[in-house]
Amino acid sequence: MSCSNFLCSPGYSLSKNKNCVICGVDNCAKCTAPGVCAQCQSGYYLANSSSCEFCGYGCEICASETTCKTCNSYPFSRGSYVTATGACGYCRYPCIACKSSKICTLCQKGYTLSGFRCRPPRPCIKIDPYCISCDKKITRCTACNDGLYLKNNKCFKCGAGCAQCTNDFTCLKCAEGYYLNANDGCSSCIQYCKACQDLTTCTECLSGFEYDADKRRCSVVI
């Protein structure tokens, strides 16, 4: 086989008389002489100069004869990753790029990445960015995200410290670290308190703290 510009096709080496000679090593991509391989084809590991070993299904670049360094995206046309054992794993649809089966970094168009997972399309956001439920015609919002209330087909933020409300002045449930006061609003618990009924006591302190009834405060656990 001849060659042009002294460059040979993969699997061939350039002889002294400037001809391209077949390597003679199965699955070799680049050789320096007949029978001497310098680089194997994708998915194969150079065990020695005369042997290219298959390193695993879906592997693009091998780390050893049995483990993979990088994986290719076919045959499923989606992202891939190297598992803890050195094998190739594939991202779960609709994830197209991931670090593991549970950690997604990029989603298919139309999906939203949240908490390393791909969330399905949310058509209700066409009405309001914080609308999570609406009618079939996508014209009327029926529910908003936590911490928001619905008014005139729009989502509005509840008062400070409120997790669920009917309007800006009436809270139904307070967020962590707040309690429902007599005015249907939320007031802050004492420092380092996670749950309380009033400003002076605490029913549950934050992790690493415990309630001191005598001092009426959450103290560091010693």
Write b or e for each residue in 45-59: b if 16 or more Cβ atoms lie within 10 A of its Cβ, otherwise e.
bbeeeebbbebbebb
User: Which residues, in sequence order, are bridge partners of residue 44?
Assistant: 54
**Which domains are delineated in the chain?**
1-54 (2.10.220.10), 67-121 (2.10.220.10), 189-222 (no CATH)
Task: Report how far apart, in Å, the C-alpha atoms of 178 and of each of 3, 165, 204 are.
Answer: 78, 14, 12
Is the pLDDT at 2 greater than 70? The verdict is no
Write b or e for each residue in 115-138: b if 16 or more Cβ atoms lie within 10 A of its Cβ, otherwise e.
eeebeeeeebeebbebbbebeeee
Token representation of residue 102: 């549970």
pLDDT over 90 for what percent of the chain?
50
Question: Regarding predicted confidence, which is higher, 70 or 75?
Answer: 70
What is the distance between the alpha carbons of residues 122 and 129, in angstroms, rounded to a whole number? 9
Distance of CA 123 to the CA centre of its chain: 22
- Confidence bin at 222 (pLDDT 50/70/90): confident
Mean pLDDT of 42-49: 92
Pairing of strands 80-82, 68-71: unpaired
Mean pLDDT of 86-99: 89
Is the pLDDT at 1 greater than 50? The verdict is no
Token representation of residue 115: 């908490």
Place of tokens 């298919």: 108
- Structural contact between residues 107 and 115, judged by C-beta atoms closer than 8 angstroms: no
Per residue in 100-147, pLDDT tens? 989 999 988 767 888 898 887 788 888 998 998 899 899 999 999 889
What is the distance between the alpha carbons of residues 203 and 96, in angstroms, rounded to a whole number? 45
Measured CA angle at 84 (ends 79, 87), to 5 deg: 60
pLDDT of the residue at 170: 94
Nearest in space to 134 (alpha carbons), one of 115, 114, 110, 150: 150
> What does the mean pLDDT of the chain come to?
88
